[in-house]
Every structure is written in structure tokens, then in C-alpha cells.
């Protein structure tokens, strides 16, 4: 699952970079930064910044609600959870790509926000998210704790798991920035198509393995 988590972190970093450039400094995956921008804008009376940040956060939260709802419904109906979540993410990214190609950047950004919110439900378990995919503060904190534990007899390599997630997000963001420089927001297609392929792969491997374990 670590490899899959890193791949999804790369996807999040890529999409976040496209959103950041398009929105002129607001994020579509990293909400802590948007919350700070909202707070500063509110305190300084720069209402355009505050309202933009608030709108972005609100749409992202709707995406998390969507993702969590998909998980609950898939569980109740005995559907493959992970590929169903990814199908929703891929569908939103595809819709955003079409909107970008039609120069409807606002619609594209909305789809990106919903997709990134929903992606965080991929590792939802018992109503809680076990691995955050679009924000790395928690991963860095855990990495620091694992590094400290090494000095007191803890696992020597446990920190690498969290470091890998961080690197994935960085690689994705760098790649997204370069892709945007090349083709603009149409670069979203380079996220949507691989995400769709990943959905099929997860359905054929991870979800099938999960069903076999449950039936045995």
C-alpha cells in the first residue's frame, strides 16, 4: 500500500501545483495554506482574498464529504471501495480536463478541488483517514518522531515511509509546474488519464485481493 500511497501523493502534488498557478497562490489540495490566507485576508480587510480562500476551502470540504459518502455507500452495498473512490476522483479530473480545454478554468478548478477532497477518503478506515494524501504536515511530524525514536532503540528505517510520501508530493508539484509551463491548464489531462488507468489497476488487484480475504 505504501507504493500506492506515494503514487496518489504524486497525483495530489501535481494537481495542487496546477491549481496554485491557476488561482494565483491558492491551493486545491493543501487547505492549511488557504486557511492562513483567509485569516490574513480577513484581518487585513482584503476581502477578495478572504472570500476566495473561503470558497476554495468550502468546495474542498464538499469533496471530502463526497469521498466519505462513497466509502459508506460502497461498504453497505458490498462494492469495491478503493476503486470506487478512485473512479470518482478520476471522473472529476476528467471533467476538469474537459472544462480546461473549453477555457472554463473556474469549473476546472472546482472539479480539481472536489477530486482532491475525495482522494483523501482512499485510505479511510472505520470513519477515520489513516493516510493523508494531500497534506504533508502530519507526515513530516511523524517522520520527525520516527527519527527521534531511532536514538532510543526504535526502528532505524520507519521514518522512510513518511519521507516517501513527502517526496511524492514534491515530485508531483514540480512535474505539474513544468507541465503547466508547457501546455497551461490542459496539463490536467496528464493527471486525469493516469488516474483513470490507476483506477482500473486498483480494481483488478487491490480490490480483488480484499474480496478474496473477506471470503476466505
Write the pLDDT tens digit of every residue in 171-196: 999 999 999 999 999 999 999 999 99
Which CA distances in Å does 105 have to 47, 48, 184, 188?
21, 18, 11, 11
58 bridge partner residues: none
pTM above 0.85? Answer: yes
Torsion-angle region of 184 (φ positive above 0: left; ψ -120 to 50: alpha; else: beta):
left
* Across 79-101, average pLDDT: 93
Any idea which residue has 480587510 for its cell? 45
CB-CB contact of 31 with 64 (8 Å): no
Is 134 within 8 Å of 83 (Cβ atoms)?
A: no
The residues that bridge with 129 in the sheet, in sequence order, are: 124
For residues 5-28, average pLDDT: 94
User: Which position has the higher pLDDT, 124 or 169?
Assistant: 169
Q: Nearest CA to 192 among 66, 64, 107, 91?
A: 91
- Distance of alpha carbon 13 from alpha carbon 19, whole angstroms: 10
55-69, 78-92, 134-148: which has the highest mean pLDDT? Answer: 55-69
Amino acid at each position: 500500500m505504501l507504493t500506492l500511497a506515494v503514487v496518489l501523493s504524486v497525483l495530489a502534488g501535481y494537481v495542487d501545483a496546477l491549481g496554485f498557478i491557476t488561482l494565483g497562490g491558492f491551493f486545491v489540495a493543501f487547505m492549511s495554506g488557504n486557511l492562513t490566507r483567509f485569516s490574513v485576508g480577513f484581518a487585513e480587510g482584503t476581502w477578495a482574498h478572504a472570500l476566495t480562500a473561503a470558497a476554495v476551502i468550502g468546495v474542498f470540504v464538499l469533496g471530502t464529504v463526497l469521498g466519505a459518502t462513497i466509502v459508506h455507500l460502497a461498504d453497505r452495498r458490498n462494492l469495491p471501495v478503493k476503486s470506487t473512490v478512485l473512479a470518482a476522483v478520476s471522473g472529476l479530473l476528467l471533467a476538469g480536463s474537459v472544462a480546461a480545454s473549453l477555457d472554463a478554468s473556474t469549473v476546472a478548478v472546482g472539479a480539481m478541488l472536489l477530486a482532491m477532497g475525495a482522494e483523501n477518503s482512499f485510505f479511510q478506515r472505520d470513519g477515520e483517514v489513516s493516510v493523508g494524501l494531500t497534506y504533508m504536515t502530519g507526515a513530516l511530524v511523524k517522520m520527525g518522531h520516527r527519527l527521534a525514536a531511532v536514538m532510543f532503540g526504535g526502528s532505524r528505517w520507519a521514518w522512510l515511509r513518511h519521507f516517501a510520501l513527502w517526496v511524492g508530493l514534491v515530485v508531483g508539484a514540480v512535474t505539474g509546474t513544468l507541465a503547466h509551463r508547457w501546455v497551461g491548464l490542459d496539463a490536467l489531462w496528464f493527471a486525469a488519464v493516469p488516474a483513470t488507468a490507476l483506477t482500473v489497476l486498483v480494481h483488478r488487484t487491490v480490490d480483488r485481493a480484499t474480496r478474496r480475504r473477506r471470503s476466505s
